[in-house]
Each structure stands twice: as C-alpha cells, then as structure tokens.
Structure 1
Amino acid sequence: MRIMSMTVAMLALSSASAMAQTPPDVSDLIGARAAGGETQLEARGYRFVTPNVVRDSKWSFWWSDRQRQCISVTTTDGRYAAIGAIPAANCNAAVPQAPARPSAQRDAISLVCIGSGSGPAAQSNSGYRYNSKSRKFEPEFGTTLGREGFSSDLEIDISGGVGRIHPSGKLVSPIHSGGSDGWWPIADLMMTPDRISGSYRMNGMNKPRFDYNRRTRIIRVRAATEFTGRCEEQ
C-alpha cells in the first residue's frame, strides 16, 4: 500500500508539474534530448537534486542558486516533455544550505569602481567673422558650455544598512559640501540580490544618483556629471 501511495503521489505531482508554468530561462529545452538538456541546465546554473521514475516517465528536480528556483523536469522517450516551476521546498530539503550569517555581515559590502564619464566644461572658441561695415574679416573670441570626457574611480562602503561613497577626480564638483575626508553619506540606499542604488548630496544643486548591477558589476552615476564604471567587490 505504501509503494502504491507513493506512486499515486508521484503521478499527481508529475501531472501538476506538466501544467505548471515553464520558467522563461528553460522554456526552449522542452523537446530537447535528455542528455543535451542536462548539459544545458548545468550551463544555466541548475543543480541536479533527485530523480524518480513514474511508469514510462523519468521525473527529476533541479535547483538554481542564481534564480532561487526549483523546477520539475519530466522526461519521456528520452526527451524533455515538460518543465515546470515548483515550490522551492521540494529542492531545498535536498540542497545543502549555507549557514546564515549575522545581518550586519550579510549587508556589508565594499566596492572599488574604475571607469570614465563626462561633465560640463567651458570651451573657448576663436575664429574670424566678416564685418560688413569695415569689409574685413575680424578676429572673434567666445566661450561656450560643452562637455569634457574624463577617467576616474570611486569607492562605496556599506555596512549594517548604512553606506558612504568616495568619488574622485572629476566626479567631485569644484563647489561641494557635506563630505567628510572625501566620503559622502548615501541617502535612499536600496540593496537587493541584483542591485544596489542610492544618492548623495554633492552640493545643494548637485545630487548624483548611482545604480550598481551586481550581476554585470557595472555602476552608473547620473547627474550633471555622468560616469560608468566596472566594480570589484572587496
């Protein structure tokens, strides 16, 4: 009776997984040969958890740390017949979990970013203009506001949900206030597994905002002066 009950439960779960929504990152694998499908799942960050066989179908769980996602894969006649997202608890029981760290350590991060940008700059112009009265070309001088490119770096320190930023070079406005030893406190700090964002007050008129993509390691600063760089997490 116990074996029959387990078989019935597995059949029900297999049918449910077939009706479950297929995650976009693996939807193209439906119909693929099992051997090639397993290689693709591993290449996309999934780990094999456990297999089961229900009549003519092979049914298995896969877990993705990157997506924080558990999927059920049904294989029939050597091909992937269905892939469905299922509750993470189905995989977590079989996947070793990293020990939890104190919240202060979990939120601690240090970034060193190097890149380039552009900012407003006065540009002197000179040339000649024809004077219809004197019927001569006369020298003319002027100043226009343009943009100037530069290379620079910045640092970010975050601990316990509080952050500070250290811009360098052209990222520091000629007129600035509110900093301490080159560091500015970060306001509106937001941290997720994928992104870190916030702003800082360079002066009353200049409040740059930054956005850091933790997957690509690219940071962008947007204000009168713009900057794009690549960061290393320390």
Structure 2
Amino acid sequence: MRCLPVIAVLLAASATPAIAQTPPDVADLVGARAAGGETQLEARGYRFVTTNVVRDTKWSFWWSERQRQCISVATAEGRYSAIGTVPAANCNAGGSAAMRPTQPHDRISLVCIGAGSGPAAQSTSGYRYNRKSRKFEPEFGTTMGREAFSSDLEIEIADGVGRVHPSGKLVSPIHSGGSDGWWPIADLLVTPDRITGSYRMNGLNKPRIDYDRRTRIVHVRAATEFTGRCEEQ
C-alpha cells in the first residue's frame, strides 16, 4: 500500500455513524427551518461556501473565519436534520490559504474489493437460409454484451485532494489522464457519511464514485459498473 504525506482530517472510524459532533454555537439550529437557519448562520459569523445533494439530503458547507471551523449542514424536508464539523478542506472552495488546515491530521485511505460488469464483444454463430441457393448457410458475427469480473480499487484523499487507483477490468483498454495507475478525483465531496466524486478514464468514460462510510460499500458507475466493500487503512 502506498503512503502519502497527508494533512486532511479523517472523521474517526469509532465516531457515531449519524454525524460528527455538533458545534455548541449552532446546536440549537438542528431542527430549524432551512430558510431561517441560513439567516442565523450568517448572523453568527458563518459564510456559505457550497452545497451538494446526496440522494434525498442536501449538504451545505459553511466556514467560520473567527473559529477557523468548517461545518456541514444536512437539510431534509426543509429543515436542518444535522450539523457537524468536517475537514476544513471542504470549505476551501476558492483555494484561499486562510481556509486550509494549519496542522497535520490523519489521511483517508481505502482498499475496496468487489465485482462488476462491463461491455464486451461476444462472437455469435448460426445458420441463415439463403433464398438464392435454397440452402442454410453458416453465419458468424459479433454482438456487444456484458462481461462479469472481479477487481479492486484504492482511494486516497489528502489535503482535500483525492485520487483513485482502479485495477483489472476497471481500467479501459483506451485510457488517458492517469499517472502510475492513479487518476485524480474531480468534484470531490467528503461528508461524515459519504465520499463522492468522479474521474476521467478517457474522453467518453467518466466513472462516478459513491462511497457510503456507514456500510463501507462503494459503487463506481459508468460504462463499466463496480460494487465493492472497502476497508479504511
């Protein structure tokens, strides 16, 4: 397993699966309506950074310059369902040095093993009746189907930057953009219970990664699909 110098916050594996600890200064906003909650967050010195939707929950990220703190706010059915601290890199949308972590932390490193399926050419053969010769003649052809396979991949996240190392059939015969078997993860989002992003295998193949930190199940969806179980190293 390769090691990287890392300064990204990893929410402890022993933490409760619901969400990271709620900061005391915003604890009273859990359960509040989203519209009023945003006003309160701004009044308490938080600045909106970005938002992302994962299934039925909207995750918004807010930065407090005074407290040097990034928080994630989960909104479901129009109310704040949970608020928790997250790695400062999640609020580093504009690359501002003021929002970067100031001391080293643990890294996120995943090794995932599973199975999937991908497009594959399949040879066909048979007989076709030839009206001119009035005979059945052999016929051969090729059709596109899907082929099952077993494989693995690695995911590493450091200082808000992620990369993925797919193996075997997860690597397209024609690919570009990788370096020593690693591809950078774009649109990376790290929340207390999920990691999502995508990588560009080639111009037409851009797999999407969706890792559930509660179940430790990862899905990779593109022309080739993969489902695996991961272990955090």
Interval containing the TM-score (normalised by the shorter chain): 0.5 to 0.7
Could you tell me which amino acid in structure 1 is paired with residue 225 of structure 2?
Answer: E
Shift of 1:134: 1.7
Partner of 1:231: 230
Spell out the pairing of 1:65-214 with structure 2 (5 A cutoff): 65-67=16-18, 87=28, 104-105=104-105, 108-214=107-213
TM-score, normalised with respect to structure 1 = 0.57
Q: Greater CA deviation, 173-182 or 131-140?
A: 131-140
Q: 1:103 to 1:215 in 2, by over 3 A?
A: farther
Could you tell me which amino acid in structure 2 is paired with residue 180 of structure 1?
Answer: S
User: When you count helix as a share of all residues, which structure comes out higher?
Assistant: 1
Q: 1:210 to 1:139 in 2, by over 3 A?
A: same
- How far apart in 1 are the matches of 2:128 and 2:214? 54
- How far apart in 2 are the matches of 1:69 and 1:179? 34
Count of residues in correspondence between the two structures: 145
Shift of 1:205: 1.0
8 Å Cα contact 1:104-1:159 kept in structure 2: no
Deviations 1:170-221 (A, max 9, x none): 0000011110000001110000010000000111111111100000000000
Q: 1:102 to 1:177 in 2, by over 3 A?
A: same
| 3-state SS of 2:105 partner | helix
- How far apart in 2 are the matches of 1:69 and 1:144? 50
Deviations 1:78-106 (A, max 9, x none): xxxxxxxx959xxxxxxxxxxx9977525
Partner of 1:24: none
- How far apart in 2 are the matches of 1:68 and 1:171? 32
User: Greater CA radius of gyration, 1 or 2?
Assistant: 1
Q: What is the alpha-carbon root mean square deviation over aligned residues?
A: 2.7
Q: Which has the higher contact order (CA 8 A, sep 6+)?
A: 2
Partner of 1:52: none
Q: 1:161 to 1:222 in 2, by over 3 A?
A: same
Percent identity over the alignment is 76
Q: 1:69 to 1:174 in 2, by over 3 A?
A: closer
In the alignment, structure 2 segments of 5+ residues that lack a partner are: 1-14, 22-26, 30-86, 88-100
Could you tell me which amino acid in structure 2 is paired with residue 67 of structure 1?
Answer: A
Shift of 1:114: 0.4
TM-score, normalised with respect to structure 2 = 0.57
Could you tell me which amino acid in structure 1 is paired with residue 166 of structure 2?
Answer: P
